[in-house]
Chain A
Amino acid sequence: MKTDELIAMLSTNVEPVRHRPPWRTIGLAVVFGWMTVLVLVLAALGLRPDLFHSASIEPVLLKLSFAAVTLVPATYFLIRLSRPGGEGNAPLALLVLPFFVIALLAGASLASAPATHWDVMIVGHNWLECLISIPIIAIVPFAIIVWAVRQMAPTDLSRAGALVGLVAGSLSAIGYSFHCIDDSVPFVAVWYGVTITLCTFAGWKLGPWLLRW
């Protein structure tokens, strides 16, 4: 095919195209993904029985704010990276900050407790359910957000994929924290931290394959 022919084809009857800002497409997908997570948690796991008791407020808020602090910057960077060239000097290293802070808090909490309590604080009642539920629930928002990013044009597929994983994992953790009855800071740091990191890693590996265009 001659390039002239291609250009002639592309510039015949040019349809007006409106710029579609990525924040709208990606933002909508994140909101929609969040709603599906809530529905899944309600339907499959149920809320923790003491959710509305005053003693639960603080731990639930801790989990929610940890997940929110990973979610918001990840969504921001994903919006940037979903358009060509958006990856240029995005300070992605900032994204590890919440993990670092919660690890410090967990360390402080362990330091203030007798060493004999440490295993209970870390393992909790149901670490296995947490380890399995967060990644599995994350699959649905992951798929929705991948679909949205595919509408745009990311040019760094591994990083964009990792961000999709991080966003999906955080959304899933937000949903799961309404169910989870393990309230110690070390538990949140280890199991929420590990599962969200796992989702990020999966996204990093799957990105080049799922987001290619």
Chain B
Amino acid sequence: MEANDTELRALMRAGLAGDAAAYRTLLTRLSRALRAYYKGKLGRSGRSESEAEDLMQETLLAIDTRRHTYDPAQPLMPWVYAIARYKLIDHLRRTRSSLSEAPIEDAFELAARDDAAEAESAFDLTRLLGRLPDKMRNAIQDVKLEGLSVSEAANRSGMSEAAVKVNIHRGLKALAQMIGREKKP
């Protein structure tokens, strides 16, 4: 498991340096580990599959928007696991009357899990984007969805490059918040 962490950590470091391909591989692998983790925690009832997918996506967004808090000198999985567990507890608090327990386990266990059976979450990206302020929505639309470079997006919108970056970051954070709030008790 430790070897697994070393590999994921290398991907994370590359991702932090701006390597999109490495970051994509990392998120894909984390998504599988998290899917297995949440499915296990939420039980195997019919509802739990999409619930697990919702929670996993929420956690991926949280990992992305909070990646500046990861210390590259530390192992990666304990950091990921702490976020996953935090999001689980938060989710249970909001959706269940009584809080079932989320035991502390070995963070490296998480890296060993894998579930590639993708389901669709209940979140509709287009609709969520539609609720963002124009500047944030356009910045995310141009750079993150259409793949324009930041300078191209800056030219198109008339904003500075720094403003485009800030709007992307704030927009993703706002998306993560909307997803968190969207859950019904």
CA distance A14 to B147 in the complex (A): 10
A-B contact pairs, 17 of them (CB 8 A): A1-B57, A1-B121, A2-B120, A6-B125, A9-B140, A10-B144, A13-B150, A14-B19, A15-B18, A17-B16, A19-B69, A20-B68, A21-B71, A84-B80, A85-B78, A85-B107, A153-B69
Q: Mark B77-99, 1 if CB is under 8 A from A, else 0.
A: 01111110110001000000000
B147 CB to nearest A CB, Å: 5
- Contact code string A24-54 (vs B, CB < 8 Å = 1, else 0): 0000000000000000000000000000000
In the bound complex, do residue A12 and residue B147 qualify as a contact, i.e. CB atoms below 8 Å apart?
A: yes
Tell me whether B8 is interfacial, beta carbon within 8 Å: no
By a CB distance below 8 angstroms, the chain B residues around A16 are 16-18
How far, in angstroms, from A9 to B141 measured CA to CA in the complex? 9
Question: A3-B56, A21-B71, A84-B66 are contacts. A10–B121 as well, Cβ < 8 Å?
Answer: no
**Which residue of the partner chain, among A2, A22, A82, contacts B118 with CB atoms under 8 Å?**
A2
Q: How many residues of B contact A (CB 8 A)?
A: 57
- A1 CA to B57 CA, complexed, in Å: 9
Q: A7 touching B68 by the CB < 8 A rule? A: no
* Cα separation A4 to B125 with both chains bound (whole Å): 12
A205 at the interface (CB under 8 A from B): no
Q: A3 with B66: in contact, given A11-B23, A12-B144 (CB under 8 Å)? A: no
Contact B62 A85 (CB under 8 A): no
Which of B82, B124, B165 sits near A155, CB closer than 8 Å? B82
A123–chain B nearest beta-carbon distance, Å: 43
Interface pairs A-B: 9 shortest CB-CB:
A85-B82, A84-B82, A11-B24, A16-B18, A155-B86, A153-B66, A14-B20, A1-B125, A20-B68
Q: Is A213 on the interface with B (CB-CB < 8 A)?
A: yes
User: B143: which of A5, A13, A152, A212 is its contact (CB, 8 Å)?
Assistant: A13
A-binding residues in B (CB < 8 A): 15-21, 23-24, 27-28, 31, 35, 53, 56-57, 60-62, 64, 66-72, 78-83, 85-86, 90, 107, 118, 120-121, 123-125, 140, 143-145, 147-150, 165, 168-169, 172, 176-177
Summed over the interface, the residue pairs from A and B with CB atoms below 8 Å come to a total of: 120
At the interface, is chain B mostly helix, strand, loop or mixed?
helix
Q: Say whether A13 contacts B86, CB under 8 Å.
A: no
Chief secondary structure at chain A's binding surface: loop
Q: Would A7 and B28 count as touching, CB distance under 8 A? A: yes
Q: Chain B residues near A117: list those with CB within 8 A.
A: none
Report whether A19 and B61 are in contact in the complex, using a CB–CB cutoff of 8 Å.
Answer: no
Residues of chain A lying within 8 A (CB to CB) of residue B124: 1
- In the complex, A4→B56 CA distance in Å? 12
Q: Which chain B positions have C-beta within 8 A of A7?
A: 24, 27-28, 31, 60
Instruction: Tell me the A75-89 residues at the B interface (CB within 8 Å).
Output: 82-86, 88
Q: A7-B60, A213-B62 are in contact. Are A19 and B23 (CB under 8 A)?
A: no
For the complex formed, measure the closest distance between the CB of A112 and the CB atoms of chain B, giving whole angstroms.
48
Q: In the bound complex, what is the Cα–Cα distance between A84 and B79 (angstroms)?
A: 6
B57 lies within 8 A of A3 (CB)? yes
- Min C-beta distance of A96 to chain B, whole Å: 24
Q: How far is the CB of A210 from chain B (nearest CB, A)?
A: 14
